[in-house]
Each structure stands twice: as structure tokens, then as C-alpha cells.
Amino acid sequence: MKVLICDKTEKEFIEQMRAAGLTVDVRDDIIAEELSTVLPAYDGMVVRSRTKVRQPLIDVCPSLKVIVRGGVGLDTIDADYAKSKGITVMNTPLASSASVAELTIGYMFMLARSIYKATASMKAEKWDKKAFEGDEIGGKTLGLIGVGNIGREVAKRASALGMIVLAYDPYVKEIAGIKLIGLDELLAQADYISLHLPKTKESANMIGAAQFARMKNGVRIINCARGGIIDESALYDALTSGKAAGAALDVFAEEPPADWKLLKLDNVIGSPHIGAATKEAQARVGAEVAEKLIAFAKNGK
């Protein structure tokens, strides 16, 4: 089986695939315009967030049998269309869960204690000790929207810190140690709201003006899931009106953002979609990608 690596994958796991008999070519800098001429020669491809696999590309690759996305979501792939063409689509849902969960918890601490603003003040050679009175997160209520692998990892860590954890997930019936409630109830009770669900037709812009109106005054929002689940215009209004005390965003509706006004607010901190960007997560992703491709080459599934 001939495989094209379109995005960064650790060399160790590329060599594992080659040792198992796969022909593996690495083009982790390939641009979208080149893919349609290069990819038709391959049976499989490995992508991350950078490379998009849409219907027009799929249509010019009749030999393509498998797409492996190194990461959690499949929103960068027209997965249903690919499957309708007989192409197997896989991802690595467990590999980055701990890393994204840790970023989420770190963001909660940063929001609670104004760590970013305090650091910026110190770098400006100011000693504004009285300006940075914060809050403890112990005893506060965390509302998780989505409790898949990452949401559950966040819940474990938040519970260990003494937070009250509530969750909304229409696809989950019961989870030990987590109280599942309706979305409106969660919005009304949570001091912190963290999103951990894929972007789908149902979840796109699911947190908008009406949902912010139901939240506590001073709520803090964390999104390390996918951009476009929160209506960014409604979030901006909530942050500038004082409805929301702060937001921490690792993902955006457009990446990189075309309009940076949200990031320029003093009560917003952000990062360029780095939730899975740890050495440990990258190693697990590479290992899982190799395992799945080797198994597919042997068994066809």
C-alpha cells in the first residue's frame, strides 16, 4: 500500500510503517493546489488539521482507500462523502485527550488569577499588586458541554481541584461522578463553561446571544474544541458588556482569524490551536496513525 504523509508525523512511526511493508512518502509541506495532482497515485493519506480533504479532491483520487486524520475531529474531511466512495476514514480520538484537558485546566487558572495580564504588567516593569485580585476555582461550578474522551479527562482534573462538575451531552446517558443536566440548566449554573464537542451542523453556533443571556453574570468561557461552535460576534458582545468576565480560546471560526478584534480584548486570552501540541500527544498520535494504517494494509479495515 502506498501512503502519502501530508502533515507532520514523527519519523519513528513513519519508519514503523515502512518496516511493516508500506511505501510511505512524506510531503508534510504540500499545498492544497498540489494535492490534486500528487494524491491520485496513492492508496492512503495521513493528515492533521492543516490539510483539508474535500469532495473535489476525493473525486480525482479513484485509488484512494483510506484517510487517517491524526487528531480528534473529522471536520477537515468530507468524511461522509469519502465513505460513500468506499474510502475508510479514521482518526486518533484518544491520543491527545490528556493534552487538551491540561490546556483547558491551565486556561481556567489563567482566567481566575489574571496570569496573562499580571505577566504583561511585570514585563512593562510595573508592580500593580492590588490590580490582580483573583478567584479560587475550588468550589466553583464547571459546566462541560460535551463529555467524550477529552471532556471526561477535564472532569477528572476539575473534580480533583474541588470543582463541582456538571455536563451536557445529548449522546451520553450516564457517567460516574458527573451530573448530566440539560443545556439551559447548565448555562444558568456554571461559573466556567468549557466546550468539548465536535463541530457539526447541530453544534455550529450553538452558543449564541440567546445562550449567553441564560448564563450567570461574570461567567468565564473556554473553547479548546472547535471554532464556530461559539458565535464569535455574540461572544464579543458578552465580553464587552460584562456578561462574560473572560474567555480563553484555542480555536476560532477562521484560522488564523481574519478579524482579530476578539483577541484584542483585555479579558480574552488565546493560542493558535495548540491543544494537542505536546511531545507526549504527538508521539501517541504518530503511534496510533501507524497502528491503524498497518492494520488496514493487513486486513483492509
**All residues at 6 or more sequence positions from 45 whose CB lies less than 8 Å from its CB, including other chains:** 3, 4, 5, 6, 39, 53, 64, 66, 67, 68
Three-state SS at 193? strand
Active-site pick, 113, 157, 185, 255: 255
Is 273 noted as a catalytic residue in this protein?
yes
Active-site pick, 69, 220, 273, 284: 273
Active-site pick, 220, 226, 232, 284: 226
Q: What would you measure as the largest C-alpha separation in the chain, in angstroms?
A: 65
Burial of 142 (0-12, 13-18, 19+ CB in 10 A): buried
Is 255 noted as a catalytic residue in this protein?
yes
Which grid coordinates are listed for 155? 472532569
Q: What is the dihedral of CA 197, 155, 163, 268, to 10 degrees?
A: -40
Is 196 noted as a catalytic residue in this protein?
no
Strand ranges inside the chain, DSSP E: 2-5, 23-26, 44-47, 66-69, 88-91, 141-145, 164-168, 179-180, 192-195, 219-223, 244-249, 268-270
Q: Active-site positions?
A: 226, 255, 273
